[in-house]
Amino acid sequence: MFNENPCLTCGACCAHFRVSFHWSEADTEQGGVVPPEMTEDVTPFFVSMRGTNQKKSRCIALMGHIGQKTSCAIYEKRPSPCRDFGVQWEDGLYNIINEEIQRCNHARAVWGLPALFQQLPRFNFQRPEMHREKTMVTVFHRSIKAKRKDGRKPGSIRG
């Protein structure tokens, strides 16, 4: 398996996006683990990490310089948007969500960093050929042709 996390710890996402989440994640009485002193109110229901709710965003928990190796001061207690960001390893498997890689690459571009795929050329992200899918389509088309030979229109019910 791969020995590197696809997240290059560049910090671009932590210094570009607002990190908003339900207030209960920062409320210890509700079982929350995010340090409340690192959050600020956004709405009556949501808070955000300090520093991310402004035009030039930078999370208060981000340590290091953007584009170099960065880390999170509260990694084990980070909020759900950070835990769920789709550029990561999960259960020993490479997990990447297309929308998330686009968001990651957008943040990297804002900071003048190359796209993540350019950084990781050894990964093959092409979809495998699906033989079953083609077979199902072929069977469907053959059944339509057979119905037409019987003089029935496709979709008509035999009476």
Domain boundaries, the chain: 13-119, 127-159
Q: Which residues contact 45 (CB under 8 A, 6 or more apart)?
A: 22, 23
Distance CA 78, CA 32 (A): 10
pLDDT in tens, 121-143: 445 555 555 554 444 455 555 66
Work out the end-to-end distance of the chain between its first and last CA atoms, rounded to an integer number of angstroms: 58
pTM over 0.85: no
pLDDT in tens, 15-40: 999 999 999 999 999 999 999 999 99
| Res 59 pLDDT > 70 | yes
DSSP class of 82: H
| Res 113 pLDDT > 80 | yes
| Res 110 pLDDT > 90 | yes
